[in-house]
A and B are shown apart, each in its own frame.
Chain A
Amino acid sequence: MTISIDPQKTNNESLQPKGWLRYFSFSLDHKVIGIQYLVCGFLFYLIGGTLASAIRIELASPMSDFMPRDVYNQVLTLHGTIMIFLWIVPVVNGAFGNYLIPFYVGARDMAFPRLNAVAFWLIPPSGLMLVASYFVEGAAQAGWTAYPPLSITTPQSGQIIWIMSVLLLGGSSIFGGINFIATIIKLRRPGLKLMQLPMYCWAMLGTSILVVLSTPVLAGTLILLSFDIIANTGFFNPVLGGNVVVYQHLFWFYSHPAVYIMVLPAFGLVSEILPVHARKPLFGYTTMVFSIMGIVVLGLVVWAHHMFTSGTPPWMRLFFTIATAFIAVPTGIKFFNWVATLWGGKISINSAMLFSCGFIINFVFGGITGVALAQVPFDIHVHDTYFVVAHFHYIVYGGTVFIIFSSIYHWFPKVTGKMLNEKLGILHFIITFIGFNLCFAPQHWLGLNGMPRRVAEYDPQFQFVNQISSLGALLMAISTIPFLINIFLSMRNGQVSGDNPWKALTPEWLTSSPPPVENWEGEAPLVEEPYGYGKQFSEQK
């Protein structure tokens, strides 16, 4: 197969709409597709966030009084599914991957531009389908894990639509993953070695391997589940001799790697952001690469830590404990290296830097509770409680969402040619950081002391702590206001940024802002040292 670095554009490129209408078209430009992913993901984030607020309002009092109990379960299911499949995964992979990877490998587009556009355009209709299922009749209410037999016995129309929607979204991420692997391996500008790639490329390579290996397993599992629901087969239905624990194995074979599909790209993004604003090379490039690959390998063999209470044999519990805990080693290496990147730098304290540092602190916290959860005896007490809810929100929100915001502050000038307002950005950070910790830190205590997750009503002794948590959620909701104002104001009248306001060295900054359609006028630059800070500039001093 030959793939050129200048993929053939369609002849009717000139017929594509211009201006902002471009973003509503079937564009083949990776930059347009990236922004489409980002904006679409953010709209779903607002829906998912509204649902989260509804959940926290319900939980402000111990009784189930804000919505009926089955509606609570529907809202919960929708919240989890939207946040994972329509916000985090599309944005950290699709949005930033599409925007940045072709720049990083020195290409003019992705390897398969049409497949790329198809991958994106699967998302809005399947997302709308998922949301619509709520209004049809009996939305899915078995949680985002959809464990049978509950998912077989709840209202069927909703559950079927849920399955179809998740299948389409899974298809979208597989298409995206294939495209990233092909682009990174095959489209590299001649002369650019693998070990010279910016770290985000490595992170996306690792992520895409996970996507391509594990997403089909989820698809197969959900297809079998839909057979059980529609055609009365007995794969997982115990009444017909099916095995419900097998579903859990298959489900978590995808869904554990899915957390790395959500955090590895964030690891890559933060590795791009920190060196620029600390004006230092990324510390330990080689160990960073190996730790990504270590996480990929270990990530594939730890799924059963979600099933310690499901009736697994003792040896299995033991193996999965050790394997899970060992992920802390490559992950820890990355965190030490980031701190070492900051150490001795000339750090600009701006919104991008603050969100990245917030990420480090939150993620270390979530990682520590993760190592604790890996220990079977520890997990047995807190499994399926609010302790777990707190742990994974520290990872997905305190980790990935913080990095999404950090990245938006970092790359906004690239995309628009305008600067974001720093005062509003720092305000956004402060409210988010306080609100986030207020919302999720107390939930650890709730879980330890007897509050199970996925409940609309709870023991009144937990009311006060739940109210603190709901207050934190309110702050998080409020924090989006300065962010949105900032985006809209800066897009119209923001200060003009110039091509490279951060004086960064990675290739996307070595072209105009915003970049032209095929990324560069003339040759793509060969960047051998994407993190060569302190080398060129200090000599000029």
Chain B
Amino acid sequence: MLNKNIYLILIISLVFAISFWIGFNVNLLPIEASINAPIYDELFKILFIIGLIIFIGMTIAVIYSLFKFRKRNDQIGDGIALEGNLSLEILWTIIPSIIVLLIGLYSYNIYDRMGGMKELNHNHEMMRSNPEKIWAGISQTSDNEISNNNLSIEVSAMQFAFLFNYPKGNFISGELHVPVDQKVSMKMESKDVIHAFWVPEFRIKQDIIPGQPTILNFTPTKVGKYPIICAELCGPYHGGMRASIIVEEESDYNDWFNKNKKTEVNL
């Protein structure tokens, strides 16, 4: 009996050890290039490790049973008539419930840190100038910040391109340029069908919906060029609907901005 328990404990610790090792050493995700990304990856790691423990554990249990309890040729008759075991069943109702609850609370926390729980419709300034309903997206900034400090950009999506309008400079660009480490606030609208704005390196995605503008806020943290991918089936060239986001140093960004802005506009 003691022997059996020792084996069980040994196997369980091995499963945990392997899962933690894989969880910390195998990276399945692209580089992290926004302040959302490390927060996301933290959740990913936790889910990955818990998932591995359960998966490896169950697989071992199934394969072990197939070997250990397989019917030998000379055997007749049945296994033991075990129909249930109340304490076991309570145990494996309660443990998964607790795990699920903890994961839920933790991912709520992550979501809050990513700015998902901010109410977007309470933005007074925007309400006044713009009575339409803005649908929730991901937002990292408080209401005031949206109108004041952020770089605000208007995105319009159409079959099969993204256009980025910089209202302060009164110009439209096919490439999204943003300065590093600064909050960017985008209002997105579609001209035809549903599209989506996805930057894998930023771990953010938001659908762009005709008739219902959505908002997406993010802060890039790494200089570089990343793909913007449309992630909602939008017609034959859906696979080709891509653009680039170029994250650059403040000064480079300003050069680019000044080169493009329409000078005739009075500020």
Chain B residue contacts of A115, Cβ below 8 A: none
- B232 at interface (Cβ–Cβ under 8 A)? yes
Decide: A283 and B61 in contact? CB cutoff 8 A: no
Give which listed residue, B55, B80, B84, contacts A344 with CB less than 8 A.
B80
In the docked arrangement, what's the CA distance between A337 and B89, Å?
Answer: 8
Give a binary string over B232-245; 1 marks a CB under 8 Å from any A CB, 0 the rest. 11111111100000
Chain A residue contacts of B204, Cβ below 8 A: 380-381
Chain A residue contacts of B117, Cβ below 8 A: 314, 318
**Within the complex, what minimum Cβ distance (angstroms) separates A327 from chain B?**
9
- B209 at interface (Cβ–Cβ under 8 A)? yes
Decide: A377 and B110 in contact? CB cutoff 8 A: yes
- B170 at interface (Cβ–Cβ under 8 A)? no
- B138 at interface (Cβ–Cβ under 8 A)? yes
Give which listed residue, A153, A325, A342, A457, contacts B62 with CB less than 8 A.
A342
Decide: B110 and A309 in contact? CB cutoff 8 A: no
Range for the number of chain B residues in contact with chain A: 35 or more
Chain A residue contacts of B135, Cβ below 8 A: 245, 311-312
A449's closest neighbor in chain B, by CB? B30
In the docked arrangement, what's the CA distance between A142 and B62, Å?
Answer: 41
Decide: B209 and A311 in contact? CB cutoff 8 A: yes
Give a binary string over A512-541; 1 marks a CB under 8 Å from any B CB, 0 the rest. 000000000000000000011111011011
**Within the complex, what minimum Cβ distance (angstroms) separates A382 from chain B?**
8
Decide: B111 and A535 in contact? CB cutoff 8 A: no
**Within the complex, what minimum Cβ distance (angstroms) separates B28 from chain A?**
5
- B77 at interface (Cβ–Cβ under 8 A)? yes
**Within the complex, what minimum Cβ distance (angstroms) separates A489 from chain B?**
26
Decide: B205 and A372 in contact? CB cutoff 8 A: no
A371 touching B103 in the complex, CB below 8 Å, given contacts A278-B69, A364-B54, A377-B114 = yes
A277's closest neighbor in chain B, by CB? B71
In the docked arrangement, what's the CA distance between A292 and B69, Å?
Answer: 28
Give which listed residue, A243, A348, A378, A531, contacts B107 with CB less than 8 A.
A378
- A45 at interface (Cβ–Cβ under 8 A)? no
Give which listed residue, A317, A347, A365, A378, contacts B70 with CB less than 8 A.
A347
Decide: A538 and B81 in contact? CB cutoff 8 A: yes
In the docked arrangement, what's the CA distance between A325 and B43, Å?
Answer: 15
A283 touching B84 in the complex, CB below 8 Å, given contacts A317-B111, A345-B79, A361-B58 = yes
Chain A residue contacts of B58, Cβ below 8 A: 335, 339, 360-361, 364
Interface size on A, residues (CB 8 A): 101
- B75 at interface (Cβ–Cβ under 8 A)? yes
In the docked arrangement, what's the CA distance between A1 and B2, Å?
Answer: 62
Decide: A340 and B233 in contact? CB cutoff 8 A: no
Decide: A377 and B200 in contact? CB cutoff 8 A: no
Decide: B80 and A309 in contact? CB cutoff 8 A: no
- A454 at interface (Cβ–Cβ under 8 A)? yes
**Within the complex, what minimum Cβ distance (angstroms) separates A360 from chain B?**
6
**Within the complex, what minimum Cβ distance (angstroms) separates A350 from chain B?**
10
Chain A residue contacts of B206, Cβ below 8 A: 309, 311, 380
Within 8 A of B (CB), among A328-383: 328-329, 332-333, 335-337, 339-340, 342-349, 353, 357, 360-361, 364-365, 368-369, 371-372, 375-378, 380-381, 383
Give a binary string over B64-92; 1 marks a CB under 8 Å from any A CB, 0 the rest. 01100111000111111111110011001
5 pairs of A and B residues whose beta carbons are closest in the complex: A455-B239, A534-B81, A238-B211, A311-B135, A345-B79
Query: Which residues of A line the B interface, CB within 8 A?
Result: 64, 68-70, 72-73, 141-143, 147, 149-150, 153-154, 238-239, 241-245, 278-287, 309-314, 317-318, 321-322, 325-326, 328-329, 332-333, 335-337, 339-340, 342-349, 353, 357, 360-361, 364-365, 368-369, 371-372, 375-378, 380-381, 383-385, 444-445, 448-450, 452-459, 531-535, 537-538, 540-541
19 contacts between A and B (CB under 8 A): A73-B235, A150-B194, A153-B192, A244-B194, A278-B69, A317-B111, A321-B107, A326-B100, A328-B100, A339-B61, A368-B51, A371-B100, A375-B103, A378-B43, A448-B200, A452-B238, A531-B83, A533-B78, A538-B77
